[in-house]
Structure 1
């Protein structure tokens, strides 16, 4: 098991986790007991964090494979108890999956920007592809103003630069 304080030393990872689970979730990770499995109720009591926040944080981490649980059933009552443990050693694969998703979106957007010619309404700012503008006789559907050609070269270059930088940082040049 990787200790939370080791993982949280990296400011980028810390920011990523903070964005994922918020301040109280971060507090839970920082206060999570180092050894053993704990129920959500035990964690709420030990950390003094609201039980709903503890549960929300654990299920969010579980969704990213950064926490696991083992379910036990009370033979007398039939109640289920979930015993949780952090799996922060999965942080790198979690980050790479999310970066891959973002990269896929950026690449699709870059392709869209480079494959299309655009027109814009100067009055309301709506942007149209050439085909959309042609179908509307180059008149804005929102305010009926005449559209003008929109040069998106700067946007396309910025997207390409961002995609290239991400690929470089991931060692995929």
Structure 2
């Protein structure tokens, strides 16, 4: 089986690609000719997918290094043609980079949750940090009800578990 087909048919990779390029992008990936380089116009014509969707998918994949191009210039018209090919062999690098970014964001959130004390309005479910709650005298700005302390331990445990899981996946643990 072709490595691109193998990757596209893997449920986890397919879910990642779907998040990037949605149904129409997956359709393009499935129908993308496996050999050679192809212009966006050629791909749209061969696959029946809207040219703007083809271009959007290609540029999205390019940003993740999952597609690459080279341009050729028509000396008579001065027009540039971009010839594309897939680089699905970079999929694991792209996933790893995205996971590292998620890990960074989750770590920042964990630090925020650990460093702050929170208060909640039981009616409106608005949550405030201690300084914010103090500034509004521990009364909800929407309904004027008194706020109570919010225990974020369950959220912190969940964040820590998710961070640990991602670190293990990335080989950091």
Q: Which band: TM-score by shorter chain?
A: over 0.9
Query: How far does residue 9 in structure 1 lie from its aligned partner after superposition?
Result: 3.0
Cross-structure match for 1:102: 102
Contact 2:37 2:83 in 1 (8 A): yes
* CA–CA separation in structure 1 for the residues paired with 2:127 and 2:170: 33
Q: TM-score, normalised by structure 2?
A: 0.95
Query: How far does residue 145 in structure 1 lie from its aligned partner after superposition?
Result: 1.4
**SS of equivalent residue, structure 1 residue 27:** helix
Asked whether 1:166 is paired with 2:159, we answer no
Q: How does 1:118-137 map to 2 (within 5 A)?
A: 118-137=118-137
Query: How far does residue 50 in structure 1 lie from its aligned partner after superposition?
Result: 1.1
Once superposed, what is the RMSD of the aligned Cα atoms?
Answer: 1.1
Which residues of structure 2 form unaligned runs of 5+? none
Asked whether 1:13 is paired with 2:13, we answer yes
Q: How does 1:71-150 map to 2 (within 5 A)?
A: 71-150=71-150
Which residues of structure 1 form unaligned runs of 5+? none
Contact 1:73 1:79 in 2 (8 A): yes
Q: Which runs of 4+ in 1 moved over 3 A?
A: none
Cross-structure match for 2:54: 54
Q: TM-score, normalised by structure 1?
A: 0.95
What are the superposed Cα offsets for residues 55-74 of structure 1, whole Å, 9 maximum, x if unpaired? 11001101111111111111
Across the two proteins, how many residue pairs are aligned to each other? Answer: 172
Contact 1:39 1:83 in 2 (8 A): yes
Query: How far does residue 4 in structure 1 lie from its aligned partner after superposition?
Result: 1.6
